Amino acid sequence: MNMSNGRLAAGSLPVPERLGSYSINDVIFLLKDLSDVKLERGTEDREEAIQGGTHYSEMLPIEYRPTPEYLALFHETLEATARKVALAAGIVSERLAARHGTNLVLASLARAGTPIGILMKRYFKHIHGVELPHYSISIIRGKGIDENAVLYMLREHEGRRIQFVDGWTGKGAIRNVLTEARKIMLDKYGVELSDDLAVLADPGRCSETFGTREDFLIPSACLNSTVSGLMSRTVLREDLIGPDDFHGAKYYKEWLEDDVSNLFVDRVSAYFDEIREEAKREATRLEQLPEANVSTWQGMQDIARIQQDYGIGDVNLVKPGVGETTRVLLRRVPWKILVDRLDNPNLRHILLLAEDRGVPVEVYPGLTYSCCGIIKPLNGGEA
């Protein structure tokens, strides 16, 4: 790495602010605080803006207080899947340890990646006795990674391998952004990054580093900021973010009494002792399994078929996987939900949310994912 580059010199990069409801022992957010800026727009208004060409990172969805039904869904799902999430976190951590040792910096992608990065950091400390640095940084489809955040981590932890972490894969868009970022960082700064993306679940089959490929509901997908350290999605707008800033986000302190961020990571990490041996065995098995170490991008083949069958021109209107479909139902304008089969146990909450919002559900045989959410096109014609 070319450490003589001016952007890596001490004092030339932004300084992290104290943000979020997590302990700094769990994560440091490399984000600019935009809490005092009005960025939220209503669902219909935001959907129209996005489909009209405004980039999604220039505004935020309105954060609503979670309803009792959604909170009940979160708690039910957490009770049902905490051990499964812990096992997947253990497996992906053990796979990383087997490949790279423990000389790592965890860089979780805000915001869905943040709680997963915390689980991995806690697993490495509890099971391997190693304290890994963990930061949460911004990466934005269509705009790229936060270069200042990457340079900060490289400067602070010279010689360590940066391991990017996310919650789950959908279409693999973020993996593609990472691959592009790798080229940009090499060309601009002479920095060699890996575009490997470690995820808890890889239903899209576009990551080689995963805990499971089962498409199940990770409880943190049920809620927004209240399970992600009270942080908003990340923001990148020229009038707010300068060349010497990190990408931005809001810290919703006002939601503190509704916050379940620490409850989630505490409940899951409590299973680490119980799953440690199973995680090591499964990680060893996967590392020796050729198909578990390659990406087939099978999910994207599904998407292409859906686009053709339903006349959807914009691939961004198709949101595959349980996590993304949950988000479509919670904060977008859904058109319909496709499911692999109606008796899939991973779909109970999807069917509940779809019924609640009056969204039709259709069985779509042969789906790689458990389900797929399709956003309603607002242009009056084809999607």
Residue position matching structure tokens 């996310």: 166
Q: What is the band of 372 on the pLDDT scale with cuts at 50, 70, 90?
A: very high
> 201 forms bridges with which residues in the sheet?
168, 212
pLDDT of residue 73: 82
Mean local confidence (pLDDT), 279-305: 94
What's the CATH number for 298-375? 3.30.1330.30
Report the DSSP pairing between strands 371-375 and 334-339.
Answer: antiparallel
Residue 7 scores a pLDDT above 70? no
Mean local confidence (pLDDT), 161-166: 98
pLDDT of residue 382: 44
Least confident of 29-38, 168-177, 365-374: 168-177
Q: What is the band of 280 on the pLDDT scale with cuts at 50, 70, 90?
A: very high
C-alpha–C-alpha distance, residues 73 and 322, integer Å: 14
pLDDT of residue 170: 87
Q: What is the band of 379 on the pLDDT scale with cuts at 50, 70, 90?
A: low
Say whether pTM exceeds 0.75. yes
Q: Could you state, in order of their start, the residue ranges of all structural domains in the chain?
A: 6-293, 298-375
Q: What is the band of 9 on the pLDDT scale with cuts at 50, 70, 90?
A: low
pLDDT of residue 1: 45
pLDDT of residue 5: 54
Burial 6-33 (b: 16+ CB within 10 A, else e): ebbeeeebbebeebbbbeeebbbbbbbe
Burial 148-183 (b: 16+ CB within 10 A, else e): bbbbbbbbebeebbbbbbbbbbbbbbbbebbeebbe
Q: What is the band of 222 on the pLDDT scale with cuts at 50, 70, 90?
A: confident
Q: What is the band of 381 on the pLDDT scale with cuts at 50, 70, 90?
A: very low
| pLDDT tens digits, one per residue of 34-76 | 999 999 898 788 888 888 888 888 899 888 788 787 788 889 9
Backbone φ and ψ for 146, nearest 5 degrees, come out as -75, 100
The per-residue pLDDT of the chain, averaged, comes to 92
* DSSP code string of 273-302: HHHHHHHHHHHHHHHT-GGGGS---HHHHH
H or E element, residue 131: none
Q: Letter for the amino acid at 196?
A: D
> 134 forms bridges with which residues in the sheet?
106
C-alpha–C-alpha distance, residues 20 and 27, integer Å: 9
pLDDT of residue 92: 98
Report the DSSP pairing between strands 318-320 and 144-145.
Answer: unpaired
Instruction: Identify whether the C-beta of residue 21 lies closer than 8 Å to the C-beta of residue 229.
Output: yes
C-alpha–C-alpha distance, residues 261 and 96, integer Å: 25
Helix axes 272-287, 113-128, angle to 10 degrees: 100
226, two tokens: 């209240």
Cα of first residue to Cα of last residue in the chain, in angstroms, is: 45
Mean local confidence (pLDDT), 261-267: 98
Mean local confidence (pLDDT), 359-382: 86
Question: For the chain, what percent of residues have pLDDT higher than 70?
Answer: 96
| pLDDT tens digits, one per residue of 170-187 | 888 899 999 999 999 999
Instruction: Identify whether the C-beta of residue 117 lies closer than 8 Å to the C-beta of residue 27.
Output: yes
Backbone φ and ψ for 345, nearest 5 degrees, come out as -65, -20
Residue 339 scores a pLDDT above 70? yes
